[in-house]
A and B are shown apart, each in its own frame.
Chain A
Amino acid sequence: MKTEKTIAAIEEEIVDEFSLFDSWDDKYEYIIDLGKKLPPLEEEHKKDENRVRGCQSTVWLVADYKDGKVHFRADSDSVIVKGLISMLIRVLSGHAPDEIINAKLEFIHRIGMTTHLAQTRSNGLLAMVKQMKNYALAFKVKNSLSI
């Protein structure tokens, strides 16, 4: 189970995997492949309230809370964004709210994908990270109030 690994450990794994690639083409080929493999979100979830809107591409994000862990599912109309999402889900999904809130997500910079978080891209990835942390925070608050 991935929950046995810490977020930092999974981030480290991804950085190791990317160290095998020496060209941008190879990196993106891998990300595109991840995007294609990420199971599509059911159409019923692709509604406005689940939409994280970027300037160019759209992301849909759904979060569930079970046994103290947050589970994410997501989709995008851009396969590259989907690949990046796939990595974020691998890193964050199945962890406790506090771990998610405090996740540094440095792997994004370390694998050279910083541009996707830059303002210029405004492709929804940054909004997506914020939204994932917001969900974690919401579940944490809900939990502490025992609602």
Chain B
Amino acid sequence: MIKPAEVSGSLDVYAIREQFPILNREVKGYPLVYFDNAATTQKPKEVIDALVSYYTTYNANIHRGIHTLAEEATAAYEATRNTVQQFINAASREEIIFTRGTTESINLVAYTWGRQNIQEGDEIIISGMEHHSNIVPWQIVCEEKKAVLKVVPVNDEGELLMDAFDKLLSSRTKLVSVMYVSNAMGTVNPVRDIIQKAHKAGALVLVDGAQAMAHLEVDVQELDCDFLAFSAHKLYGPTGVGVLYGKKHLLQDMPVFQGGGEMIKEVTFEKTTYNDLPYKYEAGTPNIADTIAFKAAIEFVTRIGRKNMHRHEQGLVEYATRKLETIPGLRIIGRAKEKISVISFVIDKAHPQDLGILLDNRGIAVRTGHHCCEPLMNRFGIPGTTRASFAVYNTMEEVDALITGLQKAIKLLS
């Protein structure tokens, strides 16, 4: 097992960059500056190698095959489950369900636990900064069950108003579903506090960890969340793999999600009995290759250590914030005291899309638009922002390139 790096250990960003082949490429004649990490991170060579190795040496369908390739593939697939279990310190490997991503993980809970447990008049609390994937599934459940969706408001700094949350919590609250870290602003929400309070009120808590896992150490037992959803591809892993962690007794009692192969014990035309955890929720042939390669991504992250990554990224956020503040007409959206890895901003008389296009002409990848958070953008009265989001391989020089690119873009646009 790989031990997490020491906190005191410093981080050699240039050595890390060498592990990411894509960082060598040019875009429109400029070296790529990739600041769209909150959308998806780039992949280290060991993740790419794991994919290639699977397809070139042991590609097979898992769990039922008796032959050598099937055994090797099954072992590798299940090894990732163990690695994920350790990564989030889950009590049991059966609590780790593989999905397509965070969105599917949240939908799984909505369609199974939600449909079984939400009744007319019940309340579900989400926050005003949620991604659409943590809004829409609950709207669907609420509509179907005549339940009520309550929203914790956000202040001007981009933080949750916890007083308002306290007031929203009641005996009618059945679930609180909140993001750990905001994809649009980088705000770190006080999920620990939220979980304690929700539990006191008798409600369960789902934590959307999509933006947290690559930056913060998350221990589900210590946090005591009931569900945790996250994606591999925002964590240096492949696309198409996600995790739903759920407390075992909840997962056992929930009805099945999708029916098909793998999730069954016995099928007759009269009756089907379902498989045990975690397979009960993994119908059909899963995304074997990407799940196997996900292990390499977690090992990469664990080897460097999230405390080291966080410290490096925090340096970038602080440096970039200082530099951006010198640009006339620029306003940073989201100035939470607890904030990581993301800077969102608007500039007077410069449409985010125009900024995005002009930065791309200089090889700089940022995200522009509403970041799948339209209610949050409405809260700030803006159609969207330009967002730079950082990863462990980003450098101060790249921040300088962003600032130069922005200055040139503003000059062209004004």
Which A residues are closer than 8 A to B by beta carbons?
A: 24-25, 28-29, 32, 55-58, 77-81, 123
Contact = CB atoms under 8 A, between A and B. Distances in A.
Interface residues of B, number: 16
A81 B412 contact: no
Contacts of B48: none
B369 interface: yes
A81 B353 CA distance: 9
A99 B369 CA distance: 35
Contact of B412 (A32, A57, A58, A123): A32
A81 B351 CA distance: 10
Contacts of B354: 32, 78-80
A29 B412 contact: yes
B86 interface: no
Interface of B: 28, 351-354, 357-358, 361, 368-370, 383-384, 408, 412-413
Given A28-B412, A29-B412, A78 B353 contact: yes
A114 B148 CA distance: 45
A12 to B, nearest CB: 25
Contacts of A29: 412
Most buried by A among B28, B370, B408, B413: B413
Contacts, number: 39
A28 B354 CA distance: 10
Given A32-B412, A77-B383, A80-B353, A55 B369 contact: yes
21 contacts: A24-B28, A24-B361, A25-B361, A25-B408, A28-B357, A28-B412, A29-B412, A32-B413, A55-B369, A56-B370, A56-B383, A57-B351, A78-B351, A78-B353, A78-B354, A79-B351, A80-B351, A80-B354, A80-B357, A81-B353, A123-B353
A56 B352 contact: yes
Given A57-B351, A80-B354, 11 more contacts: A28-B412, A55-B369, A56-B352, A56-B368, A56-B369, A57-B353, A77-B351, A78-B354, A79-B413, A80-B353, A80-B358
Contacts of B369: 55-56
A55 B351 CA distance: 13
A28 B357 CA distance: 9
A119 to B, nearest CB: 15
Nearest to B30: A24
A32 B411 CA distance: 11
Contacts of A28: 357-358, 361, 412
Contacts of A56: 352-353, 368-370, 383-384
A32 B354 CA distance: 9
Contacts of A24: 28, 361
Contacts of B412: 25, 28-29, 32
Contacts of A81: 353
A44 B49 CA distance: 58
Shortest beta-carbon contacts, A-B, top 6: A78-B351, A24-B361, A56-B353, A56-B369, A80-B354, A78-B353
Nearest to A122: B369
A81 B352 CA distance: 12
A136 to B, nearest CB: 27
Nearest to A36: B413
Contacts of A32: 354, 412-413
A28 B362 CA distance: 12
* Max chain B Cβ within 10 angstroms of own Cβ: one of A32, A55, A77, A78: A78
Nearest to B384: A56
A25 B384 CA distance: 24
A125 to B, nearest CB: 11
Nearest to B368: A56
Contacts of B28: 24
Contacts of A55: 369
A120 to B, nearest CB: 11
A62 B354 CA distance: 23
A117 B230 CA distance: 33
Nearest to A33: B412
A131 B194 CA distance: 48
Contacts of B357: 28, 80
